[in-house]
Amino acid sequence: MTTTIIGFPRIGAQRELKFATEKYFRKQITAAELKKVGKKLRKKHWKQLQSAGIDQIPSNDFSFYDNMLDTAFLFNALPTEIANSSLSDIDKYFALARGYQGDAGDFKAWPMKKWFNTNYHYLVPQLNKSTSFHYNGGKIKTEFLEAKELGIITRPTIIGPFTLLLLSELDNTVTIEDFTNDLLTAYGDLLTDLSSNGAEWIQIDEPSLVYDLTNDQIKWVCDFYQKLLASKGTSKVLLQTYFGDIRDIYRQVLNLDFDGIGLDFIEGKQNKKLVESGFPTEKILFAGIVNGKNIWRNNYQQTLDLLHDLPAEQIVLSTSCSLLHVPYTVTTEPFSADVKKYFSFASEKLTELTELDLLRKKKQLNLLQTNQELFVTPRVTENPELHQKIENLTEGDFVRKPDFEERRKKQEDALHLPLLPTTTIGSFPQTKQVKHARVALRKGEISQVDYDEFIKQHIQEWVKWQEDAGFDVLVHGEFERNDMVEYFGQRLSGYLFSKNGWVQSYGTRAVKPPIIWGDVSRTEPITVKWSTYAQSLTDKPVKGMLTGPVTILNWSFPREDISLEESTLQIALAIQAEVLDLEKNGITIIQIDEAALREKLPLRKSDWNSEYLNWAIPAFRLVHSKVHATTQIHTHMCYSEFGDIIKAIDQMDADVISFEASRSNLEILQQLQDQHFKTLVGPGVYDIHSPRVPTKSEIVNGLHQILAKVPQQNIWVNPDCGLKTRGESETKESLVNLTNAAQQVRKELVHGQGID
């Protein structure tokens, strides 16, 4: 055995899984038809890996929605009301993913969170007293046997117990210990079952081992695996980690009876040093040396140098993480050969692994020379003016004046907004018609003028609708955008775009991250015509809508020849120019989304004194530092995992921030209160990732919870995130419930204060 990968993209080269699943949601195909699509994709991918020469192929990396959900489902850890409902198994599964409202009941979806430092999102299992874990066969076994029938003995993969528990939400009636015995039996039964069915290797993913670990956690992991591995059957077991190094538990892990240890040598900066400190001769090192997250060709010489320092005889070459995070193939992309040669997507990374395997065995050395040519000369010509501009930035460029309190008064006078102002996050449903129009424009079937007219009509309809629904601050709806990052990338110089480079973000949703190829700058206004058009239709303020520099960077494939900081500052200057143009054209409220701000924060808190926030926060400040006091700057983050960086978020110095809160039980509110958060806040009052319509009273309850923690004059009312993924009718129903709820609570407050 010499090469493997941790996991492969599952949505299909043409996003077959997305389209089939969405058809199933719309009841256009049956469950059997959907399952057939899944089976076909799995077969295709296994065969592809096989013919690429990957000699150990994973299975159960496939998922109809998400692997965390799969794992909870595999172990039957469902809420009782869903488990006992009349829904079929697959509908129970999707009910947990997206919520369900219908004849079988009314079930909220499980929360969704970012998967470590990626733009992939997993479902957060909700565990309580009634949860129990037990294994009785299921997806992992079915897929193993499916591959076996094709003559491929795969390595089944499963998320490990530590990661499963750490990433789940336990209510206050239970602790991790309550599930330990259950899980020992469940994982034990799984190992025995797979092993008796012929699995030679089983992969247990424990990415959570790359976090800072407490002594109790280390002890839990060691005790658990000691017991589990004592009766593991005949299969060999691989402990797979990724997204960092395992410095806190490396020594202990070596003493456990794993047959293989998978380490990430790309993001795991200390892993090399750890292995050099000793690695048992009887174990196999699955060395993650091909980057599972970037799209650049591997530098073979660098990789060979790294391998040179590792125990050569015991190494299987692997990827640093699952290839889930990169697009399927570059071969079908319309880049010139001169550009294409720099790229490696999932399929090309398979070739890299097999070529590196040849090279480490001193075979086909010509491959090394061709590869080295990519790295000897600079790939792009620099923009010296831009570099100078960045060099000339001074502290004052990062400070907005006057300060928050003074601006707040001026904005209150200028904007005249009511208590609990209502707004939305920016996008409205991207309907079939909107997407079709973009396809028609791309194919030349309609002209740019016709397309623009079509978009304007949508803006007009929705501006009117928002006025009628009683919103205080309107949005234009983002109908002209394919994606909040790709759209900007396409209008900035220095970017390249794939035609089909889709990467799963969650469930059926994918993104096509643009590629930062060179220095980035703005050549002309990007959003001004749409925002000013929308503003011309109403007397209410319409928010300008931009994506912030850190998010543009984090959701693009970044350059590796300059620092992330440098690239982000280039983007920040481009967005700053856009902010100033919007302001000049009469837009008085501008939202600059920083949905991905937290993404590149080091996973280990002990690494937080590193530089990331020291440049990410200033990059955002640079974007809005030059606007007038009366221009209100909003920002938005579609997650609430910023409790521990609240101070940094406040230092972004925005006037208002909206964030996800409904799926996270509003726990962030306590932290806002405790840390005297100054920025005005719009904690999302309903979950937009589910088609479920929130009732007015649910929203009223949510507002009451918010009011218990945040001063009323600091509160905005909005959904969790943009509404582009939702259908029109559910969106309108939900938003009417939102404005009605806000009005009711406003009345309560006014009465309570005796004003009315």
Ligand X SMILES: CN1c2c(nc(N)[nH]c2=O)NC[C@@H]1CNc1ccc(C(=O)N[C@@H](CCC(=O)N[C@@H](CCC(=O)N[C@@H](CCC(=O)O)C(=O)O)C(=O)O)C(=O)O)cc1
What residue ranges bind ligand HCS (CB under 6 A)? Answer: 425-427, 478, 484, 545, 593, 595, 636, 638, 721-722, 724
Sign of CA dihedral 28, 726, 125, 60: positive
Residue 485 near ligand X by CB under 6 A: yes
Amino acid at 542: V
Q: Which pairing describes strands 121-123 and 112-114: parallel, antiparallel, or unpaired?
A: antiparallel
d(CA 605, CA 649): 16
Identity of the residue, 291 or 430, whose beta carbon is nearer to ligand HCS in the bound complex = 430
Task: Say if residue 610 carries a ligand binding annotation.
Answer: no
Task: Say if residue 721 carries a ligand binding annotation.
Answer: yes
The HSE-up count of residue 570 (CA atoms within 13 Å, CB side) is 29
d(CA 210, CA 219): 15
Would you state the structure tokens that stand for residue 651, as one six-digit string? 């230092």
Q: Taking CB under 6 A as the rule, which mask of x and - marks residues 150-169 in contact with ligand X? A: --------------------
3-state secondary structure of 726: coil
Identity of the residue, 466 or 504, whose beta carbon is nearer to ligand X in the bound complex = 504
Q: Which residues contact 84 (CB under 8 A, 6 or more apart)?
A: none
Q: Site for ligand X (CB under 6 A): which residue of 318, 505, 632, 731?
A: 505
Helices of type H across 52-136: 67-74, 80-83, 89-98
Residues 176-205 that bind Zn ion (CB under 5 A): none
Q: Which residues contact 209 (CB under 8 A, 6 or more apart)?
A: 162, 163, 221, 241, 246, 248, 249, 253
Residues 108-127 that bind ligand X (CB under 6 A): 119
Q: Site for ligand X (CB under 6 A): which residue of 435, 605, 628, 747?
A: 435
Residues 718-747 that bind ligand X (CB under 6 A): 721, 724-725
The option from ligand HCS, Zn ion, ligand X, none interacting with 432 (CB < 5 to 8 A, set by class) reads ligand X
CB of 639 to Zn ion, least distance (A): 8
Q: Site for ligand X (CB under 6 A): which residue of 638, 656, 668, 738?
A: 638
Residue 595 near ligand X by CB under 6 A: yes
Q: Which residues contact 175 (CB under 8 A, 6 or more apart)?
A: none
CA 373 to each of CA 202, 353, 380, 560, 673: distance values in angstroms, whole numbers, following the listed order: 39, 19, 14, 16, 56
Q: Which of 522, 532, 523 is nearest to 575 (CA)?
A: 522
Task: Say if residue 621 carries a ligand binding annotation.
Answer: no
Task: Say if residue 419 carries a ligand binding annotation.
Answer: no
Task: Say if residue 325 carries a ligand binding annotation.
Answer: no
Residue 721 near Zn ion by CB under 5 A: yes
Q: Please choose, out of 380-388, 407-415, 482-490, 591-599, the segment that lies near Zn ion by the rule CB under 5 A.
A: 591-599
416 catalytically annotated? no
Identity of the residue, 482 or 568, whose beta carbon is nearer to ligand X in the bound complex = 482
Q: Site for ligand X (CB under 6 A): which residue of 482, 535, 632, 737?
A: 482
Q: What stretch of H or E contains 617? A: helix 612-624
Q: Site for ligand X (CB under 6 A): which residue of 118, 131, 430, 739?
A: 430
- Do residues 502 and 473 touch, judged by C-beta distance below 8 A? no
The option from Zn ion, ligand HCS, ligand X, none interacting with 747 (CB < 5 to 8 A, set by class) reads none
With CB atoms as reference, the residue minimizing the distance to ligand HCS is 722
Q: How far apart are the first and last CA of the chain?
A: 78
CB of 645 to ligand X, least distance (A): 18
Q: With CB under 6 A, what is the number of residues at the site for ligand X? A: 23
Residues making up the chain, counted from first to last: 756
Identity of the residue, 92 or 456, whose beta carbon is nearer to ligand X in the bound complex = 456
Identity of the residue, 290 or 657, whose beta carbon is nearer to Zn ion in the bound complex = 657
Q: Which of 57, 92, 49 is nearest to 73 (CA)?
A: 92
The HSE-up count of residue 437 (CA atoms within 13 Å, CB side) is 20
Q: Which pairing describes strands 515-522 and 492-496: parallel, antiparallel, or unpaired?
A: antiparallel
Task: Say if residue 478 carries a ligand binding annotation.
Answer: yes
Residue 595 near Zn ion by CB under 5 A: yes
Identity of the residue, 638 or 669, whose beta carbon is nearer to ligand HCS in the bound complex = 638
Residue 638 near Zn ion by CB under 5 A: yes
Q: Which pairing describes strands 236-240 and 169-170: parallel, antiparallel, or unpaired?
A: unpaired
Identity of the residue, 59 or 505, whose beta carbon is nearer to Zn ion in the bound complex = 505
Amino acid at 461: E
Task: Say if residue 546 carries a ligand binding annotation.
Answer: no
CB of 121 to ligand X, least distance (A): 6
d(CA 202, CA 233): 11
CB of 438 to Zn ion, least distance (A): 21
Helices of type H across 626-665: 646-650
Task: Say if residue 15 carries a ligand binding annotation.
Answer: yes
Task: Say if residue 18 carries a ligand binding annotation.
Answer: yes
Would you state the structure tokens that stand for residue 253, as one six-digit string? 């892990």
Identity of the residue, 224 or 639, whose beta carbon is nearer to ligand X in the bound complex = 639
- In sequence order, the β-bridge partners of residue 205 are 159, 240
Residue 438 near ligand X by CB under 6 A: yes
Task: Say if residue 638 carries a ligand binding annotation.
Answer: yes
Q: Taking CB under 6 A as the rule, which mask of x and - marks residues 441-480 in contact with ligand X? A: ----------------------------------------
Identity of the residue, 427 or 737, whose beta carbon is nearer to ligand HCS in the bound complex = 427
CB of 245 to Zn ion, least distance (A): 31
Amino acid at 420: L
- Do residues 259 and 280 touch, judged by C-beta distance below 8 A? no
Task: Say if residue 114 carries a ligand binding annotation.
Answer: yes
Q: Which of 490, 494, 491, 465 is nearest to 477 (CA)?
A: 465
d(CA 67, CA 70): 5
Which of 387, 634, 689, 704 is the catalytic position? Answer: 689
Binding residues (CB under 6 A) for ligand X: these are 119, 430, 432, 435-436, 438-439, 482-485, 505-506, 509-512, 555, 595, 638, 721, 724-725
Catalytic residues, by residue number, are 689
Known binding residues for Zn(2+): 636, 638, 660, 721
Binding residues (CB under 5 A) for Zn ion: these are 595, 638, 721
